[in-house]
C-alpha cells in the first residue's frame, strides 16, 4: 500500500487523513504543495507536516507562536476528542504571510450533519482565502513583510487581524501596526478576512 501511495506522489499518512475526513463527510482543506509527501500522523487523528507537543485543542498556544514569528510554515489537520462531547475539527495553516487557525466543534450525533456542513463551509472559505492572498500581496494591500492572521474558533473565540510589519523573526526593530477585528463566528472571521483581501472593504 505504501508503494502504491508513493507512486501517486502521496504518503500513506496523507491517504489516512483523506479517509478520516471522508468518514465524517468532509472534503480536504487547502494543503501546501509538499503536504502530500511530508504530512504524518503525529498522534491519533492528528496529521501535520511538523512535530508538535501541545494539543491542537490549545489554539491560543499555536496562535501565539505564529504571531511571534517562531513557527515555520506548516499545515495541521486534526480531529481531537473523537466520540466525546469535546470533539472538534482543527485546521491550522501557516504559509508565508497567511496564518489560519480553525477549530469547529464536531457536534453531537443529532447535530452531526449541521456540524459537518459548518466545517465544510469554513474549508471552502479557506480555499478562497488562500487563492486571494497572492493577489492581495501583488496589489500591495497585504505587505509581504506583514501577516494576515485568522482565528476561527467556536470555542476560544474568533477574530482576524492584519499586521503591517515587525512581528516576524528579523523584524523586531520596527513595531507592527496591527489592526484586529473581532468576529462572532468562525465563518464570519473567514468571510470578513476574505472580503478584505479582495478589496471589498476599506484597507485597515
Domain positions in the chain are: 43-197
pLDDT in tens, 150-179: 999 998 899 999 998 654 433 333 445 788
3 state DSSP class of 26: coil
This prediction has a pTM of 0.88
pLDDT at 4 (0 to 100): 46
pLDDT at 112 (0 to 100): 73
> Would you place residue 147 in the very low, low, confident or very high pLDDT band (cuts 50, 70, 90)?
very high
Distance between CA atoms of 108 and 86, rounded to whole angstroms? 9
Distance between CA atoms of 72 and 65, rounded to whole angstroms? 10
Closest CA to 149 of 77, 94, 84: 94
> Would you place residue 85 in the very low, low, confident or very high pLDDT band (cuts 50, 70, 90)?
low
- Give backbone dihedrals phi and psi of 128, rounded to 5 degrees, phi first: -70, -35
Q: Which helix (H) or strand (E) holds 62?
A: helix 59-67
Distance between CA atoms of 108 and 84, rounded to whole angstroms? 8
Q: Which three cell numbers stand for residue 182?
A: 473581532
Q: Does residue 74 register a pLDDT over 70?
A: yes
Distance between CA atoms of 145 and 118, rounded to whole angstroms? 32
For the segment 75-101, the average pLDDT, to the nearest whole number, is: 87
pLDDT at 176 (0 to 100): 55
Amino acid at each position: 500500500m505504501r508503494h502504491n501511495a508513493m507512486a501517486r506522489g502521496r504518503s500513506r499518512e496523507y491517504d489516512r487523513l483523506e479517509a478520516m475526513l471522508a468518514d465524517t463527510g468532509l472534503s480536504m482543506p487547502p494543503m501546501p504543495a509538499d503536504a502530500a509527501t511530508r504530512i504524518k500522523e503525529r498522534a491519533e487523528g492528528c496529521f501535520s507536516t511538523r512535530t508538535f507537543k501541545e494539543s491542537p485543542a490549545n489554539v491560543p498556544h499555536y496562535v501565539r507562536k505564529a504571531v511571534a514569528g517562531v513557527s515555520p510554515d506548516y499545515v495541521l489537520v486534526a480531529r481531537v476528542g473523537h466520540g466525546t462531547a469535546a470533539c472538534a475539527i482543527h485546521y491550522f495553516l501557516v504559509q508565508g504571510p497567511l496564518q489560519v487557525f480553525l477549530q469547529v466543534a464536531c457536534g453531537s450525533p443529532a447535530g452531526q450533519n449541521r456540524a459537518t456542513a459548518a466545517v465544510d463551509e469554513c474549508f471552502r472559505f479557506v480555499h478562497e482565502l488562500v487563492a486571494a492572498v497572492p493577489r492581495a500581496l501583488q496589489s500591495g494591500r497585504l505587505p509581504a513583510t506583514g501577516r494576515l492572521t485568522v482565528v476561527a474558533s467556536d470555542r476560544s473565540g474568533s477574530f482576524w487581524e492584519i499586521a503591517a510589519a515587525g512581528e516576524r523573526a528579523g523584524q523586531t526593530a520596527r513595531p507592527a501596526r496591527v489592526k484586529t477585528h473581532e468576529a462572532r463566528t468562525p465563518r464570519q472571521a473567514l468571510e470578513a478576512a476574505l472580503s478584505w483581501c479582495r478589496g471589498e472593504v476599506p484597507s485597515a
